[in-house]
Each structure stands twice: as C-alpha cells, then as structure tokens.
C-alpha cells in the first residue's frame, strides 16, 4: 500500500482508544528496526523526520528509505510525518518530498526558539492547513511550549496549553491533530525528580479538558520518551555520562492515551538504544571494525525498544483494522 495520511491512522486509533508511536528516524538502521517491530506486532506506524534529519540525510535519502520500508511492508499502514516544521516553506518542501503529514510548530517563530503569540500561531498554522489540505496532507499544530531543547528546537521555557485557547485554535485553523504542552520536555532530562513523582507533574487535566471541548480531534504528546533506566545504565556502564536522566513513565503515557492522546512522539529512547548498543559492542569487541556489525547491534536495539512501545501503547494488532486511504481520497474528504 502507499503511504497513508496520518489523519486516518489517528482517527482509527481514536475509535478503539489506543495510541500510535511516532518514531524519529535519521538512517536506514532506525527505519529497519522500527519496521521490523511494526511487522511483528502488526502495528500501524508513524515515521517522522525533523528538519535536522532532513539536513543530515540530504532530504532525498529519507524519502527513498521510507519508500523502501513501504515496499517491504505492504500490509502495514505507514505515515511519513514532518516533525516541528518551522514555516510554510518548510512544510511545502516536505510535502514535495512525499510526506503525508506535516507539523507546523507555530508556537515558536521560524528560529524555533522564540515563542509566538496566539494570533501569530494561528496565522502560520492556518496557512499550512490551507495548503496541505488542498493536497490531502494531514497537519499537526502545537499550542503552548515544552521545556528542554532537542534537535535545535525549543524555547527552554514552559507554557502550558490553555484548554479554552486549544478549542478556539482548532476551530479557527482546522488542524487535524494538536500537540499539547502538559509539563513534558524534550531531551533526556525531562524532570529533576524520581519518575513516579514526575508522573504526578504531568497535567492530565489539560488533556481531559481539551478532549471534552474538542472530542473529534486527536491529541499529541511531545517530549514523551520514557528514558528507561536500563538504557541509561547501559550507556553509563560502557563509558557514557548521562547522570540523572529522567523521562515520562510508561504508566503516565498509558493514562494519557486513555484520556485522549493518540500520537506519542519518541526520539530520545531511540537515540539511547542506539548509543548503548554501540558502546557495549565496542567494549566487548575491540578488534571489530566492520560497520555492519555495530550498526546491526544498533538496529536490533531500536527494534526491541520500538516493539515494546507498540505493545505498551496498545497499537499492536491494529494494522489490518481498516482499508487505507490515499492523499487523493483525503483531498475529496477535505473539500
């Protein structure tokens, strides 16, 4: 099947109340690990690339690696999503590359650091929606700002989403999905406390209130890597220096899914899995110099992490639930 519009994947997740992981990719091994997990668990999947990933891969490599994943896994619904687009022009570029979904992060100016006003956010988001929908492409917006900075994105300041503003924003812009600021953060250092205490710092009431006001719009959770203790220990035990890294407990993510979160962004956990696997490999195999060996170990680590997420999010087993739509189908629906 061709790439699927992300709107369909999230709308179907809403019907059966499960979450779908959106996994950031930068190279072939990540894509292969993610797709192996999706195939084995029969999970729909969102593969997403940031502007940093597009620059790293010179754009076209992401496009064709995902095309290979589609060809190799014809039974799996796959959406290719732009993560944190910073302008209409960036979103247009992604759409030209074949992305079936884009995020316009209008919560920040084009520098991806300076917070915008509500009206500024509405203006750029609405422009992206009008352009993307004319081509059948899904649009995710964001209201509020997260803590932390990752891949050059983030103001470093937290501004929680206002539920009343969220309802107004969705109505004016027509976005298909909305990322909320609920106390999570980008990067590996999301909280400075124990994970169980951190769970209580996430504002679940914001999710609940937004869901009540706009029941038909899928909600998105950024900064939602769990930063598992075993991955941190693996990195540190083999020469890394990641003390006090704390992520979002899986129990909190699962609670958020029940309340209305349907897209869960995962980037840091993939990075940790790769780093830990490669560090361990080099220590245990000091004479090895074949990149296929240590990249193979990294690919295996990504597969294991992503497979666990797909099961924990409730995505597993849903790949065959529906007949996939195309962008042409979506163009008719939007009209």
pLDDT digits (tens, 9 = 90+) for 217-247: 999 999 888 888 999 999 999 999 988 777 8
Instruction: Note the pLDDT of residue 198.
Output: 58
Predicted pLDDT at 150: 55
Angle of helix 118-133 relative to helix 163-173, nearest 10 degrees? 40
The pair of three-digit structure tokens given for residue 128, joined into one six-digit string: 């992206």
pLDDT at 181: 93
pLDDT over 60 (residue 267) = yes
Both tokens of residue 268? 């840091």
Q: Residue 108 carries which DSSP code?
A: B
**Active site positions, annotated:** 83
Given CA atoms 215, 216, 220, 226 in this order, what sign does their dihedral have? positive
Mean pLDDT of 112-128: 95
**Sorting pLDDT into bands at 50, 70 and 90, what band is 32?**
very high
Task: Count Cβ atoms below 10 Å from residue 98 Cβ, excluding itself.
Answer: 16
- Residue 175 backbone zone (phi > 0: left; psi -120 to 50: alpha; other: beta): beta
Query: Does residue 153 surpass a pLDDT of 60?
Result: no
Provide the 10 A C-beta neighbour count for residue 31. 23
Percent of the chain with pLDDT over 70: 92
pLDDT given for residue 155 in this prediction:
47
In this prediction, residue 197 has a pLDDT band, given cuts at 50, 70 and 90, of: low
**Whether the predicted pLDDT of 300 surpasses 50:** yes
Per-residue model confidence (pLDDT) at position 227: 87
pLDDT of 158 reads 76
CA distance 156 to 167: 25
Q: Which of 114, 51, 47, 56 is nearest to 84 (CA)?
A: 51
Q: Kindly report the average pLDDT of the chain as a whole number.
A: 92
- Judge whether 86 and 51 are in contact, CB under 8 Å: yes
Q: Average pLDDT in the 101-105 region?
A: 97
Mean pLDDT to the nearest integer, 70-82: 97
Between CA 272 and CA 12 the distance in angstroms is 30
Contact 10, 218 (CB under 8 A): yes
- Buried b / exposed e over 41-80, threshold 16 CB at 10 Å, is bbbbbbbbbbbbbbeebeeeebbebbeebbeebeebbbbb
> Which of the four pLDDT bands, split at 50, 70 and 90, describes residue 208?
very high
Residues in the chain: 335
Compute the CA torsion angle 58, 146, 257, 325 (nearest 10 deg).
Answer: -30
Question: What is the rounded average pLDDT of the residues 277-300?
Answer: 97
β-pairing, 45-50 vs 78-85, is: parallel
Whether residue 249 has pLDDT greater than 60: yes
pLDDT tier for residue 183 given thresholds of 50, 70 and 90:
confident
Map residue 151 onto helix, strand or coil: coil
Check residue 183 and report its DSSP letter.
Answer: S
Q: What does the alpha-carbon distance between residue 164 and residue 17 come to, in Å, rounded to a whole number?
A: 23
- Per-residue pLDDT at 133 exceeds 90: yes
Q: Tokens 């991955």 appear where?
A: 231
pLDDT winner (highest mean) among 146-150, 175-179, 187-191: 175-179
**Domains of the chain, earliest start first:** 6-334 (3.20.20.70)
Among the listed residues 17, 13, 82, 81, the one whose alpha carbon sits nearest the alpha carbon of residue 44: 13
Q: Are 261 and 207 in contact (CB under 8 A)?
A: yes
**pLDDT of 159 above 90:** no
């Amino acid at each position: 099947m061709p790439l699927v519009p992300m709107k369909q994947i999230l709308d179907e997740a809403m019907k059966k109340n499960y979450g779908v992981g959106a996994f950031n990719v930068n190279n072939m091994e990540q894509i292969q690990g993610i797709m192996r997990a999706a195939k084995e668990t029969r999970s729909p999947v969102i593969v997403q690339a940031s502007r940093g990933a597009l620059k790293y891969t010179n754009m076209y490599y992401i496009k064709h690696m995902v095309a290979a994943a589609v060809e190799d896994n014809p039974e799996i619904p796959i959406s290719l999503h732009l993560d944190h687009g910073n302008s209409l022009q960036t979103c247009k570029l992604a759409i030209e590359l074949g992305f079936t979904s884009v995020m316009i992060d209008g919560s920040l100016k084009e520098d991806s650091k300076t917070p915008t006003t509500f009206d500024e956010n509405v203006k750029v988001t609405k422009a992206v929606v009008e352009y993307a929908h004319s081509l059948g492409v899904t649009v995710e917006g964001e209201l509020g700002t997260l803590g932390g900075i990752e891949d050059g994105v983030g103001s470093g300041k937290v501004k929680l989403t206002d539920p009343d503003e969220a309802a107004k924003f969705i109505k004016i812009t027509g976005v298909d999905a909305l990322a909320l600021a609920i106390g999570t953060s980008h990067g590996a250092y999301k909280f400075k406390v124990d994970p169980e205490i951190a769970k209580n710092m996430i504002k679940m009431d914001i999710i609940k209130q937004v869901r009540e006001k706009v029941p038909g719009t899928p909600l998105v959770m950024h900064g939602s890597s769990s930063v598992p203790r075993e991955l941190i220990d693996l990195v540190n035990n083999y020469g890394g220096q990641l003390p006090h890294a704390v992520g979002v407990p899986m129990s909190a993510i699962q609670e958020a899914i029940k309340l209305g979160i349907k897209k869960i962004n995962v980037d840091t956990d993939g990075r940790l899995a790769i780093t830990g696997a490669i560090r361990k490999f080099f220590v245990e195999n000091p004479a090895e110099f074949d990149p296929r060996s240590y990249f193979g170990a990294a690919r295996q680590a990504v597969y294991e992490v992503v497979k666990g997420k797909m099961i924990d999010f409730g995505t597993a087993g849903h790949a065959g639930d529906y007949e996939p739509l195309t962008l042409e189908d979506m163009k008719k629906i939007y009209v």
